[in-house]
Chain A
Amino acid sequence: MSTQKDPSVCFFRPNGKSMRREIRVIALVLAAWLVAIIGSQFAVFLLAHTTQGASLSRWTFFNLPIPFWLTGQFLPLWFIIICAVFNIWMDRHAGRDLDGTLRFRVSADKTRGE
């Protein structure tokens, strides 16, 4: 935890309930992002380099071979999904925090910041 003497923010030592919750969600999203990329490519690699995989990778789903599906179609879609989930969580989470704080700065534009 940071102390009164050191106000430094650190991703791995979040300060306060709000930041802790936010970082937990960020870590989950990044894990979902990383596992999907690495996992899908190892799967594709195995499909391309094993005998059983070679026969599997000849299968097509909706015209496309499985490796093209996994990487070209599914991964971008997965990124959109996890970004949307992150935003939904942040909308609810940030909305709750804002009720309890007056510290949030409203910048020069006329619309409310959040």
Chain B
Amino acid sequence: MGESTVKLLPLAIVFGLFSLFIISGLRTRKRQASEYGFAGGYTGRVGIGAAIASNWMSAASFLGLAGMFYLKGYFAMAYVVGWTGGYVLLLVLMASQIRRFGKYTAPDFVGFRYDSQAARTLAAFISVIIAVIYSVAQFRGIALMVSWLFGIAYTPAVFIGASLVVSFVVISGTLGAARNQKLQYFVLIITFILPLMLLTRKLGYFWLLPQFGYGAAINDLQQQFGFAWSQPFTSESLLAWFALCFSLMFGTAGLPHVLSRFYMVPGIRDARWGVVWGLFFIALIYWSAPAYGILARLFEAKNGIAFDAANLASADTVVLSAALNGGLPAWVTGLLVAGGMSAAFSTVAGLMLTGSASFSYDIYPRLIKPKATEVDKVYASKGFFLLLAVAAMLLALQPTRLMIAEIAAMAFALAGNTIFPAFLLGIWWGRANAAGVITGMLAGMAITFAPFVFGDSIPLLSLLFPITSSAFLGAPLVIAIMITVSLLTAPPSVEIRSFLSRNVHDCPED
């Protein structure tokens, strides 16, 4: 992958795809009013599912997951199970209840439910941090793709990638292009599965369903090359697997940009069925992702390329290197890169817009300019968007020992330690109050970041709360703290408890 030439055909495919997104976004905007009339029907639910899936798919899913399989084999299954199993929690415990609250953002929900501006501001602050961490993972993915496309080093690729993201958001925003998420999901699935089918076909495996066909590669790697790294629990323990898996699940049910999918769906049934379709669409990608990691190792072994576990950038681009080492034509690798970049771009754009909205509506008027007008807030939002992009870009430039999927896992851990307990108790326990949620969210932040700061001097912290899996023990601990503090302080107002009982849970009036 070290060729320092511009890959013209793949570059043209990437630009073509992004132009298609903008053009179709402009068309979608014109049609949207009439489409809403049918939003409650069957097509609407599939559409909501596609929107959930395309909103979800990021560089961590498209590139990072395969990279984790390439490095850690079976252990990476914790990502597959964590990122799909979290939707079960989301569906049964939160989706329809959030819709009934009628609030539009995570800070909005926390502020209303706990009747506290401080809790709302804290939730906004956490949402911004989550957006930044998650964006760093996306920026790394984008920079690796840009680095390959233009044949340049990683550092300038980060700057170019960040400029491209900001330009894309500004151009889409100026033209008023809506996100056509159905088209985006369709593109993602095609660009991910088609190259995989071609690769398995080249190897003579069962190519029609490469999700199963790659199993032959596991056997070949073992029998021909003696590689057993993909076997279960060879590198990490069962407990570490559970910790990562459950941390990701709690995080899935606590990520603000995932939860926000349920605020505005037309109906509660649509919200629920949208989750099932979304989960199916997500699973289609995750059933396939392990194949890239395994096939990349096989192609390397066949081509005599030595495996280097320390080269994380190379591991994060195994989707691409599998296609290159497998000898796929340039247009197919172009499709793969275009798919990866569109996944990262849409996620980063969504995260940064959510983050800047949290800042301009929840933090700026409360902490910085109390008398801010609507115009001030719009400017604050635009300014903060740029600030977020710069912050994520600078962090992406830092050397790290973490893979893309692991950086994303940190964002999940933070969400699982803070927003997830706030929503869970906020919906299912009327007695949870503002003091409880504020203490809980602060404790959740401490649990997430303490291993970074004190991990070296207090090894127990890193053992109990590993940075990628801290919500496994962290979330239950935060829930216990929230319950204890809530019980020791005054209950929430009768209005809030009655609202929760009557309007959210449909309980009879006594």
Contact = CB atoms under 8 A, between A and B. Distances in A.
A76 B74 contact: no
A111 B507 contact: no
Contact of B91 (A68, A76, A83, A94): A83
A64 B217 CA distance: 9
Given A29-B92, A111-B267, A76 B283 contact: yes
B428 A9 contact: yes
Given A29-B92, A75-B81, A76-B283, A60 B429 contact: no
Count chain A CB atoms within 10 A of each CB in B87, B279, B429, B505 and give the residue with the most. B505
B242 interface: yes
A11 B428 contact: yes
Contact of B287 (A67, A76, A103): A76
Contacts of A42: 238
A35 interface: no
A76 B84 contact: yes
A50 interface: no
Residue among B205, B216, B232 with most chain A CB within 10 A: B232
Contacts of B81: 37, 71, 75-76
A4 B510 contact: yes
Interface residues of A, number: 63
B26 interface: no
A26 to B, nearest CB: 5
A7 B212 contact: no
A55 interface: no
B80 A71 contact: yes
Interface string A1-44: 01110111111001110110010001001100100011001101
Contacts of A38: 242
A29 B286 CA distance: 22
B85 A45 contact: no
Nearest to B41: A111
Contact of A80 (B96, B231, B276, B507): B276
B497 A9 contact: yes
Contacts of A87: 91, 269, 272-273, 276
Contact of A65 (B96, B218, B286): B218
Interface string A49-67: 1000000010010111101
The A contact surface, by secondary structure, is helix
Interface in A69-105: 71-73, 75-77, 79-80, 82-84, 86-87, 90-91, 94, 97, 101, 103-105
Given A4-B510, A30-B92, A9 B290 contact: no
A19 B507 CA distance: 6
B247 to A, nearest CB: 13
A19 B80 contact: no
Contacts of B40: 111-112
A83 B506 contact: no
A63 B91 contact: no
B39 A71 contact: no
Nearest to B238: A45
A8 B238 contact: no
Contacts of B428: 9-11
Interface string B236-251: 0010011001000000
B256 to A, nearest CB: 21
Nearest to B430: A8
Given A15-B507, A111-B267, A79 B87 contact: yes
B277 to A, nearest CB: 9
A48 B92 CA distance: 33
B215 interface: yes
Nearest to B73: A68
B93 interface: yes
Contacts of A75: 80-81, 84-85
Given A48-B233, A64-B218, 8 more contacts: A16-B507, A33-B85, A63-B205, A63-B213, A72-B77, A79-B85, A80-B283, A105-B503
Interface of A: 2-4, 6-11, 14-16, 18-19, 22, 26, 29-30, 33, 37-38, 41-42, 44-45, 47-49, 57, 60, 62-65, 67-68, 71-73, 75-77, 79-80, 82-84, 86-87, 90-91, 94, 97, 101, 103-105, 107, 109, 111-114
27 contacts: A7-B500, A7-B501, A8-B431, A8-B497, A10-B431, A22-B505, A26-B93, A29-B88, A41-B242, A44-B232, A63-B205, A63-B215, A65-B219, A71-B80, A72-B286, A75-B80, A76-B80, A76-B283, A76-B286, A83-B87, A83-B276, A94-B268, A101-B506, A103-B502, A111-B40, A112-B267, A114-B267
**6 nearest interchain CB pairs?**
A8-B430, A63-B215, A64-B215, A76-B283, A11-B428, A9-B430
